[in-house]
A and B are shown apart, each in its own frame.
Chain A
Amino acid sequence: MHIMEGFLPHPWWEIWFIIALPFIAYGIYKLSKVTKKIPEALPLLALMGAFIFVLSALKLPSVTGSTSHPTGTGLAAVVVGPGITSVLSLIVLIFQALLLAHGGLTTLGANVFSMGIVGPLTAYAIWVACKKVRLSNSVGVFLAAAFGDLITYVVTSVQLALVFPTSAGFFDAFLKFGTIFAITQIPLAIGEGILAVILFDFLAKYKGQLLATLKVIKLPHSTPAQEAAKQ
């Protein structure tokens, strides 16, 4: 999903910067609010950043005979919310643009928009919807992470098709880029979903109280009467 340095001409690269800016500003606001109000969530933020770091560094082989990498943002969106996830993604993307020549500074806005904004927002929306229809946490996290990953690449395809339509138009170009990205991404999205479930299960087991404070999950059977009985 990394659009390479210099591959978005004027005015597109500026447009994506402008669109991404308010989300990043909101993310920074949320970040400072959470770290002030719930300082014990700080290790959790580091953990979510680390998960994005690992997954986005892994270039995995896929059925199409090419490689791609997962994003890792879906789990973070579920646990710490899409706003903070945008900031975490921004950090990873800057690291990759500066040190790996992967992605770029001029395409940062567009890449933040796909990986750090639409992906996490989709993941979060799916998670909330799964909770509404009372699917289990594992199913919710799996679907959120998998589709958050997949949609990131769909957004990249749209971004490139807007700038580089073929002679048959935007939709034809979208299919062209979509074939390159999205099909390769399907097994990776499933893999990311599974890994996200494993880490989420761990968090639910060991950090249940903190997740409840962050309103990610509700702790089972902790009625006020039982709480009182504990003490």
Chain B
Amino acid sequence: MKSRYYIVLIAIVVVMFAAPLLFAPSAEYSGSDSAAEQAISDTGYKPWFSPIWEPPSGEIETLLFSLQAAAGALIIGYFVGYERGKRAKKDIKTTQS
């Protein structure tokens, strides 16, 4: 019954981020960071320093962002699984003794 609570929570998150795509499918969905960058460039400002390295294409950038998320998710999943397994093992021991 406790897991139902988490399913509802996750469903809220999914619906909340799916809703804009459903209701405004033709919007641009460009990043707010680049919108701010654009707003500054419109004032005539020229950045005085450029990144020392840039991902050569949008695909490579997506790849690196995916790796960042995957690395984080891997650690979270490992931690959660490890702790649950440890607890389960302990529970078996206490029921046996």
A residues lining the B interface (CB < 8 Å): 1-7, 9-10, 43, 46-47, 49-68, 95-102, 104-106, 153, 156, 160, 164, 176-177, 180-181, 184-185, 187, 190-191, 194-195, 197-199, 201-202, 206-207
Contact = CB atoms under 8 A, between A and B. Distances in A.
A194 B45 contact: no
A6 B76 contact: no
How many of chain B's residues touch chain A, expressed as a range? 35 or more
B92 interface: no
B80 A202 contact: yes
Instruction: Please list the 5 inter-chain residue pairs (A to B) with the smallest Cβ-Cβ separation, ordered nearest first.
Output: A65-B27, A6-B47, A53-B72, A54-B72, A50-B75
Contacts of B48: 6, 9-10, 106
Given A101-B51, A106-B49, A61 B32 contact: no
Contacts, number: 157
A106 B34 CA distance: 17
A176 B13 CA distance: 28
A46 B29 contact: no
Contacts of B13: 191, 194-195
A46 to B, nearest CB: 6
B1 interface: no
B17 A194 contact: no
Given A58-B69, A207-B83, A66 B30 contact: yes
15 contacts: A51-B72, A57-B69, A59-B31, A100-B64, A100-B68, A105-B49, A106-B49, A164-B43, A177-B36, A184-B32, A185-B32, A191-B13, A194-B10, A199-B76, A201-B6
A98 to B, nearest CB: 7
A156 B73 CA distance: 27
A60 B71 CA distance: 18
A66 B79 CA distance: 33
A180 B36 contact: yes
Contacts of B30: 66-67
Contacts of B73: 50, 54
A2 B71 CA distance: 21
Contacts of A49: 72, 75
A96 B31 CA distance: 15
A7 B33 contact: no
A61 B29 contact: yes
Contacts of B43: 164
A136 B7 CA distance: 20
Given A53-B68, A105-B52, A198-B9, A180 B76 contact: no
B41 to A, nearest CB: 9
A53 B31 contact: no
Contacts of A104: 49, 51
Nearest to B23: A63
B37 A4 contact: yes
A6 B9 CA distance: 40
A143 B16 CA distance: 17
